[in-house]
Amino acid sequence: MVVDDQTVVREGLVTILDLLGDVEVVADGADGNDALSLVEAHHPDVVLMDLRMPHCDGVEATRRIRAAHPDTQVVVLTTYDDESVLAALAAGARGYLTKDAGSRQIAQALHAARDGQAVLGADIQAKLLTAAANQVPFLATAPGSPLPDGLTLREVDVLRLIAARRSNPEIAATLFVSETTVKTHINHLFAKIGARNRVQAVRYAYDHGLGS
């Protein structure tokens, strides 16, 4: 199944995959909500999923598909290779490719995912190695783990790094995002947990088992 909010991209992917001969496209959708209903209806082996989509993005759709339909794998195919890499993998994606991948590479990724193998583009592998070298705390965040006070996985990532005494620039570098994005996440998570400063946030992190 192919899910992408851009009609020309989605239809192009369907056409390309149909021409390969060893992939059958059973459905296509325009956003994460489509993905959820279509997986329920068609039970595909693999969903080829975009990430940046309206209504329900690819990360959330991946998480919900993997929770409800563990036999359906997800391969992410997106323009971006930023912080969404680890978010998608934490949500249960089996593979992650950028849209400069060739048709044969995409097909190989679909077959590998169907067989339970992980497939990552070379640039994605480099990011994961960098994250591992930096001992990123959020790598230990388990998909589907209950999160307190409505925190998102990304806000928990930021909170863990705050608890590890990382500065905003260090958090930005670790998560492959801008400092502005980090500040936005901090504002949101502080509001949710009722923290007025980083000291209170660190105390909250350790009280809820999110400290390093």
Domain chopping of the chain, boundaries: 2-130, 137-207
d(CA 180, CA 169): 10
pLDDT digits (tens, 9 = 90+) for 175-200: 777 888 889 999 999 999 999 999 99
CA proximity to 24, closest of 99, 111, 121 = 111
- CATH fold of 2-130 reads Rossmann fold (3.40.50)
Query: What global pTM score does this model have?
Result: 0.62
**What is the enclosing helix (H) or strand (E) of 47?**
strand 46-49
Q: Tokens 């006070």 identify what position?
A: 149
Pair 142, 130: CB distance under 8 Å: no
- CATH fold of 137-207 reads Arc Repressor Mutant, subunit A (1.10.10)
For all residues of the chain together, what is the average pLDDT?
85
